[in-house]
Amino acid sequence: MKKIKYVNVYLAFGSNIGNRKKNIEKAFEKLKQKNIRLIKKSSYYKTSPVGPSQRFFYNSAAKFRTSFTPKDLLMILKKIEEDLGRIKNIKWGPRIIDIDILFYSDKIIRQKNIIIPHKEIKNRLFVLYPLAEIAPSLTHPNYKKQIKTLLNKALTESSDFIKKL
């Protein structure tokens, strides 16, 4: 019998259409239905959007355990987004739900359609704040810096609005 290897993954969630908190909670429920086990979840944060003028986002981050490969996990996340009503139209535009893979174990993956760790982590307060809440000592495998260190640096370079709910 083949042994299933479980890994820790960190995901980021965002929503700025409809009931933002409920949209993220629905995504968590759909992940649970796929046997992707929640380990730790951050608070919700209200954050300014990147890109065109639009409603503020609610963001969260969470740690999960999964046996899915990175590619299979990405396909599951895209299907959940679609099931919840996500329509891709404008880059960085409004969305009912957005789910990104931030980290997959300590792997660095560069393939067509999948880049892990997520390439914008160090520039995004809406990712760093919730991630630092649940994993401040997690080390970014590319930068060899802890999340709390990346957050402190981003705070000195960003004027984005962020508020813990």
- Considering only residues 136 and 48, tell me which one the structure prediction assigns the higher pLDDT: 136
Its domain, for residue 139, covers 7-164
pLDDT digits (tens, 9 = 90+) for 104-116: 999 999 988 899 9
Q: Are strands 145-146 and 109-111 parallel, antiparallel or unpaired?
A: unpaired
Average pLDDT on 69-85 reads: 95
Residue 106, pLDDT score: 94
Model confidence pTM above 0.75: yes
40 within domain boundaries: yes
- CA 131 to chain CA centroid, Å, is 8
Concerning whether 55 is annotated as a catalytic residue, the answer is no
What SS3 class is residue 54?
A: coil
Distance between the two ends of the chain, CA-based, in angstroms?
A: 46
Concerning whether 160 is annotated as a catalytic residue, the answer is no
- Counted domains in the chain: 1
97 within domain boundaries: yes
61 within domain boundaries: yes
Question: What CATH number is given to the structural domain containing 116?
Answer: 3.30.70.560
Concerning whether 95 is annotated as a catalytic residue, the answer is yes
DSSP-assigned letter for residue 121: G
Q: What percent of the chain has pLDDT over 70?
A: 96
**Catalytic choice (37, 86, 106, 110):** 86
**Catalytic choice (95, 110, 124, 160):** 95
Concerning whether 100 is annotated as a catalytic residue, the answer is yes
**Catalytic choice (20, 72, 83, 100):** 100
**Main-chain phi, psi angles of 28, to 5 degrees:** -60, -45
